Structure formats: C-alpha cells, structure tokens
Amino acid sequence: MFPPSRIRGCLPVINPLFRQKLRPHRPFRQTSTLHNQTKASQIQKTKWMNLRSIITRWVPLGSVIYVGWCYIRASIDYEVSKIEIRFYEMFPFRVTSRLWGRIAACELPISLRSFVYGTYVKMFNVNMNEAAIPDLTYYKSLSAFFTRPLRDGARFISPAPCVSPCDGVVLNCGPADTDKIEQVKGVTYSLEEFLGDNKWSKNKGTSYYDSLIINKDNILHQCIIYLAPGDYHRFHSPCDWTSTFRRHFSGKLLSVNPWMARLIPGLFTMNERAVYVGEWKYGFFSMAAVGATNVGSIEIYKDPHLQTNTKGKRNRINEQDLGQLDIKKGELFGQFNMGSTIILLFEAPKDFKFEFSAGDKVLVGQALSMASKEQMR
C-alpha cells in the first residue's frame, strides 16, 4: 500500500492527464440552444427595426395601408373621428416628403422613362400635348417631369386685371369679410394665423382684418386653387403687383386635397407655406404657396434664398424684406415639385364677383372675375 502522502503527491501529475476524460459532458445542452435561438430572434428583430428596414419595408407598407383605408372611407362615406385626425397629424410627413424629394430627383435610366412616366400619365390624365417637350424620354427624373414647362401658346393670358395663377380645381372663392374665412364650405381658418403678424403695413385698424385694408370702401376676397398631381405644376403671377415682404412658415406637410380640407379646420394655417405680401391696383395683395405631402420643395424664381422642407422645428418662421419686387401678370412665379395649393387674398371693390365657383376647373391665365371683363373694355 502506498502511503497517503505519496498518493497526494501524484495528484498534480495525474489530474492534468485525465482532466479531459474525467470531465463530464456539459449538462443542459438544451439551454445553450435556447440561448442561441433567443440571440437569433434578437438579431432578426433588429433587422426589422433599423433605419433601412423602416424606409424599405415599413414606410411603403404603411403608405399602401393608408391609401387603401382612405379609399375605403371615401367609398362608404365614413365619418372620421377626431382621434383618427390626431393620429394622422402625428405621422412624420416631413421626413417622408424629404425622402420622396430625393427619390424624385434621382435620374432614371432611359429604358425605364417611357414606362414610369407613361404609367403616371394614364393614372392622372396628364395632357402631354401641352408640354413644351412631349417626348417622355427627355425628362431625366420624376422631379423634372413634374415641373415640365408648357409649350408656347398652350395658355391664353386674359387681359383682365386679375387671372388664375395656376391650373387646378377651385376649393373656395368669394369675399372674406371677417377674420375667420372659409377654406371649404363650413370649414374655416384664421386670417391672422395664416398671414402672421402684420409687419408690412403702417395701417393699424381696430382688428387684424381692418389693418390689411388700405381703401376702406373695399373688402378682402380670396381664391383657393388646388393643384392635383396631374396638373401643370408651375404657377404664375395673377396680376401686376409689387411684393414687399415674404414670410415662410415651416409647418406640417399634411395632404391638402379637397377631401382632407373638409376634415381638418385650419389646415392651411398648419401646413408649411411661403406667403408673399404687397399691393396691386386696388390695395392689399398676397399670394401664398402652401406645401403638402410629398412636396419635395417649393421654389420661387425671384426668391432663391427660400428653402422649404428643411430639417428643424416645425414652428420656425423666416421673414424677408423684398424691397420693391415688381411682378408682371402672367410672369412665371414658382413651382411645386408635386401638387399643392395656391391661395390668393386681395383687396378689391365689394362688387368684385368671381366668374367660377367651388369645384370648377381653372387654367393659368383665365379671368377671375366677370367684373374685370367689364372694366377692361
């Protein structure tokens, strides 16, 4: 028999030799598998939650669901609740619109242009015979196609003092004789919230409305024209006037189609807009270009410093003194990179009556008023 001391002395030698053989198999091997499955599920979850997945999967899926839901609601005359409107206003349309603007500016291969633009032409009834260049392969990007110019003679500019600034559908027109004016029938918006603080006039009346009027025998009139996706996307000066002040509101980018304008009171005071203020032959005159969903930008030819749909807080206001910027009737004023809205607010005599009514289709250069025709004789 070996003494215990010698046995203990051999243990350090024996133990390393038999460590691998004596080591039992790992218990609970199944636990390791569950751990790996959990890790794999976490990786899969992050794949669906990263920025690329949000852009390539969730945004298109959400857009399809939203468009389908809008179609269903419109077809069954669905009454929208305030909660739905609130959720709609919370959607990040500014981010998606910037993304859309970048996509629309990408150059398309020549082989795809006829198919892509041709599909758009059929969907929105675009009249390419009016375009300066009807060849679809000429336009390098969707943005270039949206802002295509008209051929010479496609529009007749009426000799009336005030004409339509763009092609589109009239949402509302008529006198605006209070601080609350209609955006569509039965739905109003605030004149002061839309134009902002009156810094351009020395005239201080008892109310905001009175501070705008230069000749007290006149009243304000308004004309709201919605540009659909298939319309000519450039807009022109409606009259001979002088612009002295510009105010840019960095608001939301909600849809401004007629159906949405009936649902959301004060829609035009919430959306991003560039308001140009000045005077014409009867007194106060303003022209506002209102942004909307998927409008990459609003461009004003005589105001290159204007930058719309930029990153930052939505309640920013940027102001610019323009001096004496003379603008002639029919002159190109600016363009939308997608359909949107033009709002005219101007001072005119009380007997100024519009030639058209809400729901009518108008074209660039069409006379606004029958009274204007009588005055031009």
Instruction: Examine the residue annotation and report whether 326 is marked as an active-site residue of this protein.
Output: no
Question: Of the listed 97, 164, 340, 372, which one is catalytic?
Answer: 340
177-181 — which CB contacts under 8 Å span 24+ positions?
177/209, 177/219, 177/220, 178/209, 179/207, 179/208, 179/209, 181/220, 181/222
Of 158, 236, 237, 248, the catalytic one is 236
Kindly report the backbone phi and psi dihedral angles of residue 246, in degrees, each rounded to the nearest multiple of 5, phi listed first.
-130, 135
State which H helix or E strand residue 172 sits in: strand 168-175
Reply yes or no on whether 77 is catalytic. no
Residue type, 79: E
Q: What values do phi and psi take at 229, rounded to 5?
A: -55, -25
Alpha carbon distances (Å) from 347 to 83, 218, 221, 282, 350: 38, 6, 6, 6, 9
Full DSSP string of 80-143 = PPHHHHHHHHHS-HHHHHHHHHHHHHSPPPHHHHHHHHHHHHHHHT--GGGBS---GGG--SHH
The question of whether 236 is a catalytic residue gets the answer yes
**Catalytic entry in 97, 158, 164, 167:** 167
Backbone angles phi, psi at 224, to 5 degrees: -115, 120
Active site residues: 167, 236, 340
